[in-house]
Amino acid sequence: MKITAIRPVLAQGERKTFVFVKVETDQPGLVGWGEATVEGKPRAVAGCVQDMEPMILGFSPLEVEHCWQVLYRSGFWRQGVIGLSALSGIDQALWDIKGKEAGKPIYELLGGKVRDRVRMYTHFGGDTPEAMAESALSKAAKGWDAVKTVPIPITNILDGPRVLDEAEAGLKAVREAVGNGVDILLDMHGRVTPQMAIRYAHRFEPFYPFFMEEPVQAENPAAMAQVARATNIPIATGERLFTRWGFREILETGAASLLQPDACHAGGISEIRRIAAQAEVYYAGLAPHNPYGPVSTAACVHVDFTTPNFVIQEMVDPDDSPLSMTEFVVEPLSVVDGHIMPPEKPGLGVEVDEAACARHAPDFGSEAVRSSSRSYLARHRDGGVADS
């Protein structure tokens, strides 16, 4: 069996442009699907997928690790977010082919499952404490027992009690609304400095957050470790880190006890498994980052089923993004009471609907698509650019 083509398939969702990756083989009808979505840079990663195609054309798609090594180590340059995302999508697609050829779901090829179901969490929002509480309650009513939000406003290098009071009021309202039966996860988006992250953490501790994600940018593990030492809230990070080398210093410095590699960015299924094993040595858990589409979700779930130190899995609530989560694939994985059961179909268990993607092909000249890139711009009150 040989790889005969690798191509990106783009589709415009509610909030972002999705990049799916199709790997074709010389076996009639046998193709694999992956996802390589990158916020604000869909054409860049799609172009990189095309650039990588000739590197493994003619290779066996069943030799997943060989293909991974060629894509990662060849061409002189180590990969950044664009290259690793392209590689990640291709890697997922190769595992999809391998599973289909074997007639087994991918988790069976990774050593078999170590749990009966995978716990999922989704997102809630709101601009006021009352709106946040209502949003969290609506998720809990649908069976989600873990929900995540961004609890803080844009915060300066050093800020006063106004922002702390605002953040505390929101979290307090949510905890009082949902009780202790729902875990609350906090995403700081790397927006603040260590000193402000510590101040926020001390305000949040009475409400027992499940974890605090990216309190500072992961580019400085020592700064994140400073926060981790100052609070009893578990620190999570990883969405902006790539490969096991990117996570090494996080673990060595004790900067985080929960790693969040992204199946679309960190190196695909192959590399997330290695990162999880690396984390286990440090008694750190795995909670893959995944605010993306149904293919990425499926890829994560297969890893989750086979990973002993897995904790919880992120996904977009299909009710919030029905186009992205249900229309772009033929049969998406279903969530029941906040959990996903083991997929039974061979490979990933989901198939991209190319006709649906074609109907929603992105128009990069349209204001809707352009504004999705601009939506990540954030500013401080004085007009200075803030981390988003």
In this predicted model, what pLDDT tens digit does every residue of 316-370 receive, in sequence order? 999 999 999 999 999 999 999 999 999 999 999 999 999 999 999 999 999 888 8
Spatial contact of 295 and 352, defined as CB atoms under 8 Å apart: yes
Other residues' Cβ atoms within 10 Å of the Cβ of residue 341: 14
Per residue in 98-117, pLDDT tens?
999 999 999 999 999 999 99
Look up the CATH superfamily of 108-348.
Enolase-like C-terminal domain (3.20.20.120)
Asked whether the predicted pLDDT for residue 88 surpasses 90, the reply is yes
Please tell me which residue in 123, 265, 289, 302 is annotated as part of the active site.
289
* Active-site annotation holds for 189: yes
Do residues 76 and 116 lie in contact, with contact meaning Cβ atoms separated by under 8 Å? no
Q: Is 289 one of the catalytic residues?
A: yes
Of the residues 189, 202, 339, 360, only one is catalytic, namely 189
CB atoms within 10 A of CB 252: 11
Predicted model pTM: 0.97
**Long-range contacts of residues 354-358, Cβ cutoff 8 Å, at least 24 apart:** 354/9, 354/22, 356/11, 356/327, 356/328, 357/9, 357/10, 357/11, 357/18, 357/20, 357/328
> Domain residues of the chain, as ranges?
108-348
Structural contact between residues 101 and 1, judged by C-beta atoms closer than 8 angstroms:
yes
Q: What are the pLDDT digits (tens) for 29-84?
A: 999 999 999 999 999 999 999 999 999 999 999 999 999 999 999 988 888 999 99
- How distant, in Å, are the alpha carbons of 6, 30, 109, 353 from that of 3? 8, 10, 20, 21
Amino acid letter for position 317: D
